[in-house]
Chain A
Amino acid sequence: MKGKAWKVGDGISTDHIIPGRYIYLRSNLPELAKHILEYEKPGLTEKVSQGDFLVAGHNLGLGSSREHAVLVIKMNGFQAVLAKSFARIFYRNCFNNGLPAIICDTDRIQEGDELELFIDQGKVVNTTRNTTIGFQALPPMMERILKDGGLVEHIKKNHDLVTV
């Protein structure tokens, strides 16, 4: 499925994605989701469409372990997050919630570009610029969790943690 790129820079923390001051909305995800990236990208929640991509620079998702950062990205309809690099906990949280986190050269994507993701082929096609951005295969455990539909589904299916 094709989607549009929404770009942010380097060092976007989970505090940027969803600030701690909205902690009181964490049990009300539809409301919480409206505050996504509200300082970096004001009004994003009204502009984004189902299947779009969040595209970042280095170290996306550093800081707090709050999984709500991933949940608000999903709730706003993003199909995947692309970055030059990810912080560790955020990276795990993405796959645990069935959201692909792809490490690739995001300098080759501009705001508004139309993208299509082919995970099995390890590529992102930028249809606006007619370019293909390759990426390394996902770590096998992440691939497995993603294929199972997230960690909750992985546990429901296997009744245990099963490594590859």
Chain B
Amino acid sequence: MSMTLSEKILSEQAGKKLQAGEITVVGVDLAYAQDGTGPLAVRKLLEMGLSKVHRPQRTIFFFDHAAPSPRFELSNDHVFLREFAEKTGSQVSDVGLGISHQVVAEKFVRPGTVVVGADSHTCTGGALGAFATGVGSTDAAVAMGLGKAWFRVPETIRVLVEGPLPVGVYGKDVILHLIGRIGAAGATYKALEFGGETVAGLEMAGRMTMANMSVEAGAKVGLFPSDEVTRAWLTRMGREGDFKKLDPDPGASYERTVEIRAKELKPTIACPHQVDNTKTIDEIGEVRVHQVYLGTSCNGRLEDLHIAAQILKGKRIHPKIRMIVTPGSHLVYREALRDGTVEVLVDAGAVMMTPGCGACVGLHEGVLGDGEVCLATQPRNFQGRMGSSKSFIYLGSPAVAAATAIEGKIADPRKYLEGGNR
């Protein structure tokens, strides 16, 4: 039987041949939660009568949503999680170390394994060829306590991207284009599996952006093959031993195939208040903004900061806006400090924040007020997500964010990139 990536990974982990539609219980290689979902996961574990975790070294609580804590109630949640981690020997990724999905990609996610996280953007790990999927706190509690999870093997939508990406067009634009085409429920209950020439040439940062936003089309996972790009990433992270080559079988059965010709793509924006409400930069018209937000699990990587710095170098942001930058992890921040990227951004007028989820969740570090407009690199623009229900969130690439910061209105980055994509 020829298998999709989902069928292959789940079959191997279940120890039997599985195909789309079957229900299976599989071992979980990594289970995590964050400070917004972790306290409930712990309470559910305790309610189940499980006082231990199955594999403490592979059970992690991330302090990324409210970090550093802006309220005592959240500090108390942190205390609760710290005490549980201490008692069970499970891991804490502390304030400032970064967003769960970025940190696990750096340190923990292995191709061909199953990863469960109590956060919808856990699917980011699909960039590394892991069946990584977001669940609620109760499913995460089971994965932590028993080391397993149940799944229905998903049908797969194959997404083939062919040809070189034009200047100023990135993984973010590809995934926004895809979601605009298939809709916010276009892949519900299904796997997205990315392939084609463009994908083969796409670096890990771009793959993570695309895998991250797979859930915005409703997908269970957004899977990439594990190839030389994966090996290079793991090697850079000091984990070459975790590499395992992984491809879908030729002749695997797909529910459908969506083809994207990269050369036809333009910088793409998701307009309020739905991720599938997309327009190209040419169609956007004049949209004045009050805030530009660069970061999050979608675009908080070193490569993303490089793109923004390439455009902002030697320039100043528009005097009537603020630009907030949140590196995805401590590692990203440190590398961006060392190579001068942070200096370029700060000289241009950007404000640097602690690595974490920052303003994306509407809790701290850039909350929007009534009538305010934000251009953000985050994965989501639901009404009220970043604060006031009367604010407006547009989503775009780091390049669009940088160009927008300069002009004070949503702007085309291509004119700043005549030297080509970095």
Q: Is the CB of A28 within 8 A of B218?
A: no
Is B89 part of the contact surface with A, judged by Cβ < 8 Å? no
Given A13-B382, A15-B385, A20-B361, residue A65 in contact with residue B134 (CB < 8 A): yes
- Complex Cα–Cα for A86 and B185 (A): 9
Choose the segment among A56-64, A74-82, A113-121, A126-134 that binds chain B (4+ C-beta atoms closer than 8 Å): A56-64
- Closest Cβ–Cβ distance, residue A164 to chain B (whole Å): 7
- Complex Cα–Cα for A28 and B385 (A): 21
Q: Is the CB of A92 within 8 A of B384?
A: no
Is A137 part of the contact surface with B, judged by Cβ < 8 Å? no
Is A135 part of the contact surface with B, judged by Cβ < 8 Å? no
Q: Is the CB of A161 within 8 A of B361?
A: no
User: CB-CB < 8 A to A86: which residues of B?
Assistant: 188
Q: Interface residues of A toward B: which range?
A: 35 or more
Q: Is the CB of A64 within 8 A of B120?
A: yes
Q: Is the CB of B152 within 8 A of A139?
A: yes
Selected from B24, B47, B184, B384, the residue in CB contact (under 8 A) with A16 is B384
Q: Interface residues of B toward A: which range?
A: 35 or more
Selected from A24, A67, A68, A85, the residue in CB contact (under 8 A) with B71 is A24
Which parts of A106-156 form the interface with B (CB within 8 Å)?
139-141, 150-152, 155-156
Selected from B23, B361, B362, B380, the residue in CB contact (under 8 A) with A141 is B23
- Closest Cβ–Cβ distance, residue B79 to chain A (whole Å): 11
Given A87-B218, A96-B136, residue A161 in contact with residue B25 (CB < 8 A): yes
| Interface-centre pick from B66, B138, B185, B361 (highest chain A CB count, 10 A) | B138
Given A23-B363, A27-B77, residue A65 in contact with residue B384 (CB < 8 A): no
Q: Is the CB of B120 within 8 A of A21?
A: no
Q: Is the CB of A89 within 8 A of B136?
A: yes
| Proximity string of chain A (87-106) to chain B, C-beta cutoff 8 Å, 1 when within and 0 when not | 11100110011000000000
Q: Is the CB of A65 within 8 A of B218?
A: no
User: CB-CB < 8 A to B149: which residues of A?
Assistant: 161
Is B76 part of the contact surface with A, judged by Cβ < 8 Å? yes
Is A51 part of the contact surface with B, judged by Cβ < 8 Å? no
Choose the segment among B33-41, B104-112, B243-251, B406-414 that binds chain A (4+ C-beta atoms closer than 8 Å): B33-41
Q: Is the CB of A151 within 8 A of B73?
A: no
Q: Is the CB of A11 within 8 A of B184?
A: yes
Selected from B135, B145, B148, B382, the residue in CB contact (under 8 A) with A89 is B135
Question: Could you list 18 examples of A-B contacts with CB < 8 Å?
Answer: A16-B382, A19-B389, A21-B361, A21-B384, A23-B36, A27-B77, A62-B218, A63-B120, A64-B119, A64-B380, A66-B36, A67-B118, A70-B136, A89-B120, A140-B23, A141-B23, A155-B146, A163-B24
Give the interface of A toward B (CB within 8 A). 11, 13, 15-16, 19-21, 23-28, 39, 58-59, 62-68, 70-71, 85-89, 92-93, 96-97, 139-141, 150-152, 155-156, 160-161, 163-164
